[in-house]
Amino acid sequence: MRFSAIAFDLDGTLYPNYRLNIRIMPFLLRHWPLVAAFGRARGRIRREQEEALTQKAAGNRVPRLAPFYEHQAELTAAMLNRPPAEIKAFIEDKIYRAWPEHFREIRLFPHVRECLEAFRGSGLPLALLSDFPPYIKLRNLGIMDFFSLTLCSEELGALKPDPLPFMELARRLSLPPEKILYVGNSLSYDAEGALRTGMQAALIGSAVWKKPFRTRDGLFCFESYRQLQSYVLR
């Protein structure tokens, strides 16, 4: 078998993002300034991570980044001129805890469960690495038991595509990165993060990809989970 483990992203990969967006639309409209600032803060964190990687590659000393959740709250609060503690509590309560409850009503992409069952039945370890905390989401989607390892990149201290969470994924699977296929929906975050770590990567879900094909070394694209399953297990 060409892979020794399969790892997945969650949001937009195992289910369509629009199904969550529809359900949280009232919240987004009511709290749009904060949600927009939250998104900009995460974008800035990613830029800081990339700058740190560039400096490290150049042999320069890189200062240790602040703890993730505190730094995210501080950046968001500064944009809104509000206390960081208030913003941190809001993010934890209204985003990290409340949004996953909607997943009781969200359906997976077609054939996701079938694909996971086939991989597990073949003896392939399954893992999940997500930027947002995935635990309640997986429980409410009814697929938590498929994954022998579940990680949140934020809890590890860095957002994708930073190599840190991908390297930790490989370490905890006790596998060299090149033996892991990481499945996601974002070229910039999922595929780029996996590839720069030495993993192979699969993008899934776009109707323009009519069949499996290799777009560059280690990167594959699939239209459906049945295509992914067939390619991995053939």
Q: What is the CATH number of the domain that holds 212?
A: 3.40.50.1000
- 36 and 141 in one domain? no
Contacts of 130 (CB under 8 A, 6+ apart): 9, 10, 11, 137, 151, 152, 153
- 113 and 94 in one domain? no
Alpha helices in 60-152 (DSSP H): 68-80, 84-90, 112-121, 135-141
- 191 and 121 in one domain? yes
pLDDT at residue 206, rounded to an integer: 54
pLDDT at residue 207, rounded to an integer: 44
Q: What is the β-pairing status of strands 213-216 and 219-222?
A: antiparallel
Give the chain's domain count.
2
pLDDT at residue 1, rounded to an integer: 67
- 183 and 132 in one domain? yes
pLDDT at residue 215, rounded to an integer: 56
- 225 and 147 in one domain? yes
pLDDT at residue 208, rounded to an integer: 43
- 189 and 88 in one domain? no
CA distance 42 to 63: 19
Q: How far is CA 102 from CA 4, 23, 106, 169, in A?
A: 33, 7, 7, 27
CA distance 197 to 5: 15
| Predicted structure pTM score | 0.93
**Residue whose tokens read 């297990």:** 233
DSSP assignment of 132-181 equals S--HHHHHHHT-GGG-SEEEEHHHHT--TTSHHHHHHHHHHHTS-GGGEE
pLDDT at residue 218, rounded to an integer: 78
Residue 55 CB coordination number (10 Å): 13
- 119 and 227 in one domain? yes
What's the angle, vertex CA 23, arms to CA 17 and CA 28, rounded to 5?
Answer: 90
- 192 and 160 in one domain? yes
- 91 and 128 in one domain? no
Contacts of 167 (CB under 8 A, 6+ apart): 177, 197
- 23 and 9 in one domain? no
pLDDT at residue 18, rounded to an integer: 94
Q: Residue 222 is part of which domain span? A: 5-16+109-233
Contacts of 184 (CB under 8 A, 6+ apart): 8, 9, 13, 190, 191, 194, 201, 202, 203, 204
Q: Digits of tens for pLDDT over the chain (234 positions)?
A: 689 999 999 999 999 999 999 999 999 999 999 999 999 999 999 999 999 999 988 998 877 777 999 999 999 999 999 999 999 999 999 999 999 999 999 999 999 999 999 999 999 999 999 999 999 999 999 999 999 999 999 999 999 999 999 999 999 999 999 999 999 999 999 999 999 999 999 999 754 444 555 556 779 989 899 999 999 998
- 91 and 23 in one domain? yes
Q: Tell me how far apart the 2 most distant CA atoms of the chain are, in Å.
A: 56
Q: Which of 102, 127, 151 is the last residue of a domain?
A: 102
